[in-house]
Amino acid sequence: MTNAFEGPVEPLAESISQRLELLRGGSPLDVVLSGADPETAEHVALAVDLARILPQQPDPVFRAALQVRLQTAMNAPSRRTFGAVMATWVKRATPRLAGAILAVGLVAGSAAVAAAGSLPGDVLYPVKRASEEARALMIRDSAGRVHYRLAQADERLDEIQRLIERGVPITPEVVDALLALRQIALDESRSASTAVQKDVEDWSASRHDRLVAMAVRADSAASEILLSAAGVLVTRFEAPMPGSQQPGRGVAPIRLSSATPRGRAQATSSLSPTETPPAHASQGATATGAGRTPTPTATAAAAQVTSTFLPPATAVNTAMPQPPVELTPGPGDDSRIDPVRATALARQTRTVPNTPDAGSVQNPAPPTLPPPPAEPTSGG
Amino acid sequence: MTDGDVLPAEERAHGDEGALVARAQAGDPRAFGELYQRHVDRVYSYIAFRVRDTAVAEDLTQEVFLHALKALGGFSFRGAVAPWFMSIARNAVVDHWRRRSRRPEDSLSSLESDTDEEESFLDRQGITEGNDAEDRAEFVLTRERVARSAIHLTELQQQVLALRFSSGLSVKETADAMSRSEGAVKNLQHHALKALKRKLGE
């Protein structure tokens, strides 16, 4: 069977391919099909349909979490082998539940309320995460989605804090959830205003500080995980490039988390400027792949795939009805930031052009949380 | 001044992935993250069409990129990265079915659309103009129907359909991803479309 296709190109096959190529080039369908025999036209039309309906996007949480996983694995290959990464991969049960919760509507509301205070490992925790995701689907404006994701990430941060207080060992999965949500916010913010982007930056800087502060107080195992996560927050958060002339780009990738040793004494040294290239020289230059691409968001990336032949289908969440959105806001409690660390960070992350004075890092304005819904509990 | 400026101008302008690959091979996680961002959707889309199960598709997508990460050092860039990722994805799906040891005719979704006719399928070309929930529901149904019909195609035909239309590769990229000639891909594409059309009409 295979060999039959390795022979010369059949005329019809060539004709179909050429017409599809024209479509890829942007020619309208009717022009492309003009003069085509019926069979060619049928096949081209079928191909056009396929190109429109087949592309699928991964779940955005999965998408972001996998990126975090991969980059973490690269950052610290010695500590966490690929096998370990696979073994500890966060099973994505929670987002998948979102649809189910949506489907049963407010019946699930009571469960969600009961689950609101749950922690990772609790029976009701998946319900909490799922109802969060269900709500995320209902936010129309991108600024709202960014702030919602940050608030979710804050919720993860609070959970980590409470786990530590309970003496529960911190696992990479818990931290990955936090990083994944921040990643989504980062991606989403690219299509939002610069003020929103600034919110994400401020949030990242401030939560980095808080993670470091938590790490300093935690036991060494948890400390390592928290510092690694903190490192991801700042390696992803870089200053804009002042210009496009960036000699030596890519030479000195920032690998904070691999340079982050165990223990609190060394934790401090890992934040010293000597171990970190100057922000303006390479941070901005080799900035993360964290969505800083021509196709930063899941939607845009999907458009890239979908639009191979034709304009993409409209993104799902822009067409969702808008039921009430209710969110347990994150603490926004910056008082827990260790001022010493914050100052160190101010030096490290803020020595860039066009940034506010370093003092603002100690108390960055918390991002505006999504406005509370008009009717938090009534039917949608 | 925005984050879009972080990529070198030439990379933005020409989509030159060679530099990204080089940086990733030198151990820059952000470069690999960038490659991931650019290609994860097409990898996922290919796999999702082939396995028709979201959880499995996510597992395999992760496998693909972990494999890519491990194999990165041995990858020699020749103009495009997509065929490389997609060839890994192709093998991942083949291995998946090999592990399952049989084809999934019996694991099909119970979504039934037998009352649909081929004509209506082809007539549905215009549906992307709308974006309401009904249209999206039809999307899913139709994709499901295509996926079920595609099961009856040969493995290579399915690969071509998925690479070309689910992942959006060009003929050349598809040929590279399948280690075949462009002519072979064109022929496979033709026969795949023909067979799929027949199946959809049954």
CB contact under 8 A, B131 and A85: no
Q: Distance between terminal CA atoms of chain A?
A: 55
Query: What is the model's pLDDT at position A282?
Result: 36
Contacts of residue A64 in chain B, CB cutoff 8 Å? none
Query: What is the model's pLDDT at position A219?
Result: 84
CA distance A277 to B122: 57
Residue A318: what are its φ and ψ, rounded to 5°? -80, -15
Tens-digit pLDDT profile for residues A224-235: 888 888 888 876
Smallest CA-to-CA distance from A206 within A341, A49, A101, A308 is with: A341
Per-residue three-class SS string for B60-99: HHHHHHHHHHHHHHHCCCCCCCHHHHHHHHHHHHHHHHHH
Q: How far is B40 from chain A, CA to nearest CA, in Å?
A: 8
Closest residue, chain B, to A44 (C-alpha)? B193
More confident residue, A268 or B174: B174
Mean pLDDT of B2-25: 62
Query: What is the model's pLDDT at position B15?
Result: 55
- Half-sphere exposure in the Cβ direction for A139 (13 Å, CA): 23
Query: What is the model's pLDDT at position A63?
Result: 85
CB contact under 8 A, A319 and B132: yes
Query: What is the model's pLDDT at position B81?
Result: 93
Q: Yes or no: say if B17 and B77 are a contact pair by the CB < 8 Å rule.
A: yes
Inter-residue long-range contacts of A110-119, CB under 8 Å, 24+ positions, other chains counted = A116/A328, A119/A159, A119/A162, A119/A163, A119/A166, A119/A168
CB contact under 8 A, B194 and A45: no
Angstrom distances, CA of residue A300 to CA of A168, A170, A188, A194, A196? 39, 35, 10, 18, 19
Best B5, B6, B16, B148 member to test A by mutation, with max A CBs in 10 Å, is B6
CB contact under 8 A, A291 and B37: yes
Q: Yes or no: say if A69 and A89 are a contact pair by the CB < 8 Å rule.
A: yes
What torsion do the CA atoms of A62, A189, A115, A166 make, to the nearest 10 degrees? Answer: 90
Mean pLDDT of B158-176: 95
From the CA atom positions of chain A, what is the Rg in Å? 24
Contacts of residue B69 in chain A, CB cutoff 8 Å? 70, 73-74, 82
Angstrom distances, CA of residue A171 to CA of A159, A255, B92, B168? 12, 21, 29, 38
Query: What is the model's pLDDT at position B104?
Result: 52
Taking the mean position of all CA atoms in its chain, how far away is CA B58? 13
Angstrom distances, CA of residue A188 to CA of A76, A197, B112? 27, 9, 36
What are the residue ranges in chain A where pLDDT is below 70? Answer: 1-6, 76-114, 235-380
Query: What is the model's pLDDT at position A227?
Result: 84
CB contact under 8 A, B187 and A306: no
Structure tokens at A184: 């989504």
Is the pLDDT assigned to residue B11 strictly greater than 60?
A: no
Q: How confident is the model at residue B202 (pLDDT cuts 50, 70, 90)?
A: confident
Query: What is the model's pLDDT at position B138?
Result: 63
CB contact under 8 A, A53 and B139: yes
Rounded to the nearest 10 degrees, the angle between the axes of helix B54-71 and helix B29-51 is: 140
CA distance A301 to A17: 24
Instruction: Return mean pLDDT, chain B.
Output: 79
Nearest to A293 among B37, B139, B194 (CB): B37
Most confident option among A7-11, A230-234, B16-20, B165-169 = B165-169
Smallest CA-to-CA distance from A254 within A241, A242, A229, A236 is with: A236
Write the CB contacts of A243 (distance below 8 Å, at least 6 apart in sequence): none
Inter-residue long-range contacts of A351-357, CB under 8 Å, 24+ positions, other chains counted = A351/A278, A351/A279, A351/A280, A352/A239, A352/A240, A352/A279, A352/A280, A352/A283, A352/A284, A353/A239, A353/A242, A353/A280, A354/A239, A354/A240, A354/B1, A355/A239
Query: What is the model's pLDDT at position A369?
Result: 43
B34 touches chain A (CB under 8 A): yes
Tens-digit pLDDT profile for residues A15-52: 999 999 999 888 888 888 888 899 999 999 999 999 98
Measured over all CA atoms, what is the biggest interatomic distance in chain A, rounded to whole angstroms?
A: 76
CA distance A288 to A291: 8
Contacts of residue B15 in chain A, CB cutoff 8 Å? 294
Tens-digit pLDDT profile for residues B76-120: 998 899 999 999 999 999 999 988 865 554 444 333 333 333 333
CA distance B77 to A249: 19
Query: What is the model's pLDDT at position B184?
Result: 95
Query: What is the model's pLDDT at position B84?
Result: 96
Contacts of residue A8 in chain B, CB cutoff 8 Å? 183
Q: How confident is the model at residue B137 (pLDDT cuts 50, 70, 90)?
A: low
Q: Which of residues 168-197 of B touch A (CB under 8 A)?
A: 168, 170-171, 180-181, 183-184, 186-191, 193-194, 196-197
Tens-digit pLDDT profile for residues A263-291: 333 333 333 333 333 333 333 333 333 33
Is the ipTM, as predicted for this complex, more than 0.90? no
Kindly report the number of other CB atoms within 10 A of residue A314's CB atom: 17
Best B1, B2, B3, B172 member to test A by mutation, with max A CBs in 10 Å, is B3
DSSP string, chain B: --GGGGS-HHHHHH--HHHHHHHHHTT-HHHHHHHHHHHHHHHHHHHHHHH--HHHHHHHHHHHHHHHHHHGGG---SS-SHHHHHHHHHHHHHHHHHHHTS--GGG------TT--HHHHHHGGGGGG--SHHHHHHHHHHHHHHHHHHTTS-HHHHHHHIIIIIS---HHHHHHHHTS-HHHHHHHHHHHHHHHHHHHH-
Taking the mean position of all CA atoms in its chain, how far away is CA A206? 18
Is the pLDDT assigned to residue B170 strictly greater than 80?
A: yes
What is the identity of the amino acid at A289?
Answer: G
